Amino acid sequence: MRFDLAESRFVETDVRPDAPAVIAADRTLTWRELAAASIAWRDAAIAQGIGPDVPVIVRGHKEADFFVAITGALLLGAPFVPIDTVYPEERMRRIARTLDASIYFDARRASFERLGRVEATSQVSPALSPLQEKNLAYVLFTSGTTGEPKGVQIGRESVASLAEWMAADFALGAAPVFLNQAPFSFDLSMYEVFGTLALGGTIVMMSRAASLPGQAFIDALARAQVSVWVSTPSFAQQQLLEPRLAQASLPSVRTFLFCGEALPVSLARRLRQRFPDARIVNTYGPTEATVAASWIVVDDAVLAAHPERLPIGFARRGGEVFVEGGELCIAGPYVMRGYLNRKDLNATRMFSREGQRAFRTGDLGSTDADGLLFCHGRIDDQVKLNGYRIELAEIDAALAAMPGGIHAVAVPLRRMDGSVARIVAFVETGANDERGAQLALPADWRARLGERLPPYMIPSELIACRMLPLTVNAKIDRARLADDYRNAVMESLARGDAR
C-alpha cells in the first residue's frame, strides 16, 4: 500500500496493508490505519471550514497525528504548514498572520485549535482564505532577512518529482524504513515524509529526547529495522561518539542520506569504516528546491579523488544546476512557486530558464572539468548551524526588540573548514551616550530571545562592546567582530599559559 502523490489518494490497498507506516513514541499505525485516520482527519478539517488550497498549520513534534495531518491535508488538497514546538508561539502567530489563518491543528492534542485560545474550536471559522497559488503541497517558513519568516510555496508537482527522483536514483529498496529525527518544519524531513508515502515504506519518528546519542537510540533503530538514515552531517557526527553505532548493531541500515550542510570528508570516511556495506548519498539544495537539487554517491573513489572538500555532485534528474556569476542557480519542476506575499524577493531570486522555473540560491559555486558541482558557502549573511538555516538578520531583529532598544548584531564563529561552530551576539553598550551612562545588558536576555526565536537561533553569548565596527559601506562588520573574538580568546589562553 502507498500514497499516489500525483493523484492524492491511497493506491495498491491490498499490498501489505497491515505493514507499519508510522512508528512514533505515542503509537504505531499500519498503512490501513493511516488511511482511515487520514480520511477522518480530512473530514474533520472540512467541518472546520478548511478546503482545497486553504493552508492548514500543523503544530507538534513527533506525534503520529502529525503525520496523519500531513497525509490528510494532501488528501484534501490543502497545503500543510508544519511548525515544530521548538518554535515559540509568537513565531506561529506571525506565520498565521502571513497566511491569514485563524485555526491550526495541534498534533499533541489531536484537535483543531483557535489561535489565541487553548480550547478546541466548537464552530466553523468564517472565511478561511485560500492561497493565490493553487495545488500547493506545503508551505514551509524559513528564516527571513526582515526578521519575519518567509513562506516557501512548494507545488504538488514538485513533491511528485522528489518522490520519483528518490525511487529512481537512491536505490532504497522496496518499502524502505526511514529514520526521521529532523523537525517537520525543517525541509530535510520531507525526504522521509514523501519517501514513506510514495514508496509504501515506514517512517520512524524519533523525538529530540529519543535521539540523544547512546544505546537506547541504537536499540530503537534496530527494533524498527531502519534501512535509510536521514540527517544532517552534524547529527551523524554527534551520534558517532557512540562506538556501538556500527553495522554490527544496525545491519538493516543500507543508506545514509545527507542534506542541510556540507558533508565533511572525515565524517564520510568514518562512516565507510563503520558501515562498509552502506551507501552514502550526499545531496545539496535549499528549501526552495524541494529539499535538494544535486546529489552524489560518496564511495571510496570519490573520497580518494576529493580528499579535502567533497563535491555536491550533479543535478538531479529533470532539472539543472548551473553557475551564473559565481552563484549556484537551480531550474526545474521542483523549484518553488515563489515566496508567499513577497513579490520583491520573487523578482530578484526567481527567473525563467528555457520555460522552467529557476532560482538564484545565494550560494557561491563552481564546476570542475568533469562537470562536478561544488558549493563554497553563502553570498549573503545566511548561515547554517547544525543543519538549520538561519538568517543572522532575524536574530538581529530579535535582539533589537528587547527592552531598551539595544544595538546588537549576531556573529557566526567558524571552524577552520568554514562551517559555523556557534553564534554569538555583540551589543553596543552606549559609547558616546549623551546620558553619560552605558546601557546595561538585560539579565534575562536568553528568556526574552526565547519568546521570539527557537533555541538553535539564540546566541551562546551576549558580549558587550564599546562600539560596533562598520565596513566601508556603513554596514556592521561581522567579520571583524569574529576576528576580535578569536583574538581575545587567544590572548586569554596565552595569559593563562603564562600563569
DSSP conformational letter for 457: G
Three-state DSSP class for residue 423: strand
Q: Is the pLDDT of residue 301 over 50?
A: yes
Q: Is the pLDDT of residue 12 over 60?
A: yes
Three-state DSSP class for residue 354: coil
pLDDT attached to residue 398: 85
pTM, rounded to two decimals: 0.84
Three-state DSSP class for residue 130: coil
pLDDT attached to residue 362: 92
pLDDT attached to residue 393: 77
pLDDT attached to residue 119: 38
- The chain-wide mean pLDDT, for the chain, equals 90
Give CA–CA dist 2/192, Å, rounded.
14
Residue type, 473: N
pLDDT attached to residue 404: 65
Mean pLDDT, residues 362-383: 88
pLDDT (tens digit per residue) in 408-430: 889 999 988 888 999 999 987 75
pLDDT band at 266 (very low <50, low <70, confident <90, very high): confident
Highest mean pLDDT among 125-134, 240-249, 465-474: 240-249
pLDDT band at 168 (very low <50, low <70, confident <90, very high): very high
Q: How many C-beta neighbours within 10 Å does residue 222 have?
A: 15
Does domain 384-498 correspond to CATH entry 3.40.1180.10? no
pLDDT (tens digit per residue) in 36-60: 999 999 999 999 999 999 999 999 9
Mean pLDDT, residues 241-257: 95
pLDDT band at 147 (very low <50, low <70, confident <90, very high): low
pLDDT (tens digit per residue) in 62-117: 999 999 999 999 999 999 999 999 888 888 999 999 999 999 999 999 999 998 54
pLDDT attached to residue 315: 97
Mean pLDDT, residues 140-162: 87
pLDDT attached to residue 384: 87
Give CA–CA dist 478/459, Å, rounded.
14
Q: Is the pLDDT of residue 122 over 50?
A: no
Mean pLDDT, residues 442-459: 90
Question: Which has the minimum average pLDDT: 242-251, 290-299, 431-440?
Answer: 431-440
pLDDT band at 121 (very low <50, low <70, confident <90, very high): very low
H and E: helices and strands count for the chain: 13, 27
What are the DSSP E strand ranges found in 301-346? Answer: 314-315, 320-324, 327-331
Residue in 244, 239, 240 with CA at minimum distance from that of residue 212:
239
Domain boundaries defined on the chain: 2-376, 384-498
Residue in 255, 259, 384, 232 with CA at minimum distance from that of residue 316:
259
pLDDT band at 222 (very low <50, low <70, confident <90, very high): very high
Residue 207 has, within 13 A of its CA and on its CB side, a CA count of 14
pLDDT attached to residue 376: 84
pLDDT attached to residue 201: 98
Cell of 314: 550533479
pLDDT attached to residue 158: 97
Mean pLDDT, residues 329-339: 97
DSSP conformational letter for 316: P
Residue in 373, 391, 370 with CA at minimum distance from that of residue 382:
391
Three-state DSSP class for residue 289: helix
Q: In CATH, which superfamily holds the domain spanning 2-376?
A: ANL, N-terminal domain (3.40.50.12780)
pLDDT attached to residue 237: 83
Mean pLDDT, residues 306-329: 94
